[in-house]
Amino acid sequence: MTPRERSDLLATRTGRRWLFALLYLAEGAPIGYVWWALPTRLRDAGVPIDDVARLAALVTLPWAFKFLWAPLVDAFRPRGGLRVWIAGAQLAMGLTLLPILWLDPVAQIGWLLAVLLVHAVSAATQDVSIDALAVATIPRDDRGAMTGWMQIGMLSGRALFGGVALAVEHWVGAELVVAVLIGFVWLSAAVLWRVRERPGEPEADRQGAAARVKLADFARRLRRVLVEPATWLGLAIAVVAGAGMEATGTVAGPMLIDLGFDKAAVGRFFALPAVVAMGLGALLGGRLSDRGRRDARLAGAVAALAAAVVGLAAAVALGAAATPPLLFGVLSVVYALFGVYVASAYALFMDLTDPRLGGTQFSAYMSGVNLCSVWSAWAVGGLAAGWGYPPALAALAAASLAVMPLLAWLRRRTRRLA
């Protein structure tokens, strides 16, 4: 291996893990601030709660619809490859965060929403590009472990700029937190220049090709993917499999408050134990996924997660709130198994994705995951209001088991997903 090859982070397993963990950290940091910390800051500044909720909902829309422009990433790859898309998106992300430093969140809420929407489009484009790079460059037998490292990066970013940021704002000021966030996003782009997209990979194959040839190649591959039953089975799995956990994540905080815990105790759990449990679960799930059939590992993860959610429902029904260590222990197990599920599911979706359509196809699967969050949150809210938390959680856990026949069907439609 030449010195140039040794300096390429994509050339070794260790290099790839550091690279994608860092890139996902750069994804998770703005998400943590915009989705977790900023709404709290806005409410504290006096912004009405309905405006805060409306802003939070609107800035998630680009993530749900990113598959609409993901084909641009696949069809038009510049001479520098996917790293140009990633670095360009990161530059735009930082620029669109700058106005937060001077905008008045009360008097200029409309302007704040506008810049955050542009930021969200940029961030979602970064996500598409990173996922396309992952699908194109990560070896099949390392995808499970790699998804675990990706989740470690994502969760670390969210914890740092979604939780720790709120804690330190009192001493350092909100402006410094935003400035550090912008600097961190831009600094991560510098690492991309230690990435060399080698000949033989999709982005290198098409360098210098005419735009018409690129579009024809993209269209041909897209048609092939759209008529493949495994594609639609993957989308159905994405929409169904996580229902139990997405429901739990939606109501866990309100449920703990209703059970008599104060906000400080709830905050401490989500700031550390939940993040650590999910991160360790993702690492374990990734390793397990690489050691067997992806579909079988995912089926096991969904079954174990559903059982854990039912166990949580039973614990709440039986009065576990009277023993906080027991209740938070059960919740930690649920979050750990969620990490196992995420790593297993994402590795399967990578296997189902054509590397030449990494941005488009994988983004579609992630949109399915987001849709699962939407319908399960709506369902658990209505059920909890009418029946209480335990029956609502148990019902959504049971709903997630509907993925089992889909996985069995997928097994018959694919030759080898291990």
CATH of the domain at 192: 1.20.1250.20
Phi then psi for 290, rounded to 5 degrees? -80, -5
Q: Are residues 77 and 133 in the same domain?
A: yes
Across 322-326, 342-346, 399-403, the highest mean pLDDT is recorded for 399-403
Within a domain: residue 418? no
**Residue 332 has what pLDDT?**
94
**Residue 415 has what pLDDT?**
56
- Give dist(CA 373, CA 417) in Å, integer: 26
Q: Are residues 203 and 237 in the same domain?
A: no
Write the Ramachandran bin of 46: left for phi over 0, alpha for psi from -120 to 50, otherwise beta: left
Residue 190, SS3 per DSSP: helix
- Give dist(CA 34, CA 28) in Å, integer: 10
Last residue of a domain, one of 208, 241, 262: 208
Q: Are residues 155 and 43 in the same domain?
A: yes
Residue 53, SS3 per DSSP: helix
Q: Flag whether pLDDT at 93 surpasses 80.
A: yes
**Residue 391 has what pLDDT?**
94
Within a domain: residue 146? yes
Within a domain: residue 213? no
- Residue among 147, 148, 345, 162 nearest 245 (CA): 345
What's the burial of 1, exposed, middle or buried (CB within 10 Å: 0-12/13-18/19+)? exposed
Across 89-98, 109-118, 347-356, the highest mean pLDDT is recorded for 89-98
Q: Are residues 198 and 304 in the same domain?
A: no
Q: Are residues 293 and 185 in the same domain?
A: no
Within a domain: residue 217? no
Within a domain: residue 377? yes
Structure token digits, residue 106? 């009360």
Average pLDDT in the 187-192 region? 84
Within a domain: residue 216? no
Q: Are residues 231 and 272 in the same domain?
A: yes
Name the residue range of residue 310's domain.
222-413
**Using 50, 70 and 90 to split pLDDT, how confident is the model at 200?**
very low
Q: How far is CA 23 from each of CA 154, 163, 187, rounded to the nearest angstrom?
A: 8, 20, 11
Average pLDDT in the 105-112 region? 79
Average pLDDT in the 82-88 region? 91
Q: Are residues 120 and 267 in the same domain?
A: no
Domain count of the fold of the chain: 2
Last residue of a domain, one of 184, 208, 232: 208
| 278 or 308, higher pLDDT | 308
Q: Are residues 33 and 179 in the same domain?
A: yes
Within a domain: residue 193? yes
Within a domain: residue 353? yes
**Residue 345 has what pLDDT?**
93
**Using 50, 70 and 90 to split pLDDT, how confident is the model at 117?**
very high
What's the burial of 418, exposed, middle or buried (CB within 10 Å: 0-12/13-18/19+)? middle
Average pLDDT in the 272-284 region? 87
The model's pTM is 0.75
Average pLDDT in the 339-348 region? 92
Q: Flag whether pLDDT at 6 surpasses 60.
A: no
**Residue 86 has what pLDDT?**
93
Q: Are residues 190 and 310 in the same domain?
A: no
Q: How large a percentage of the chain has pLDDT more than 90?
A: 27
Comparing 50-54, 261-265, 286-290, 303-307, the range with the smallest average pLDDT is 50-54
**Residue 405 has what pLDDT?**
94
Q: Flag whether pLDDT at 206 surpasses 60.
A: no
Last residue of a domain, one of 161, 180, 208: 208
**Using 50, 70 and 90 to split pLDDT, how confident is the model at 89?**
very high
**Using 50, 70 and 90 to split pLDDT, how confident is the model at 394?**
very high
End-to-end CA distance of the chain: 29
Structure token digits, residue 158? 């969210």
Q: Flag whether pLDDT at 396 surpasses 90.
A: yes
Q: Flag whether pLDDT at 192 surpasses 70.
A: yes
Q: Are residues 320 and 402 in the same domain?
A: yes
Q: Are residues 179 and 228 in the same domain?
A: no
| 87 or 215, higher pLDDT | 87
Q: Are residues 61 and 161 in the same domain?
A: yes
**Using 50, 70 and 90 to split pLDDT, how confident is the model at 293?**
confident
| 370 or 111, higher pLDDT | 111
- Give dist(CA 411, CA 405) in Å, integer: 10
Across 41-45, 83-87, 275-279, 355-359, the highest mean pLDDT is recorded for 83-87
For tokens 């590009």, what's the residue? 129
**pLDDT tens for each residue of 42-57:** 766 777 756 766 677 6
- Give dist(CA 370, CA 363) in Å, integer: 10
What's the burial of 84, exposed, middle or buried (CB within 10 Å: 0-12/13-18/19+)? middle
**Residue 165 has what pLDDT?**
75
**Residue 205 has what pLDDT?**
47
Q: Flag whether pLDDT at 304 surpasses 60.
A: yes
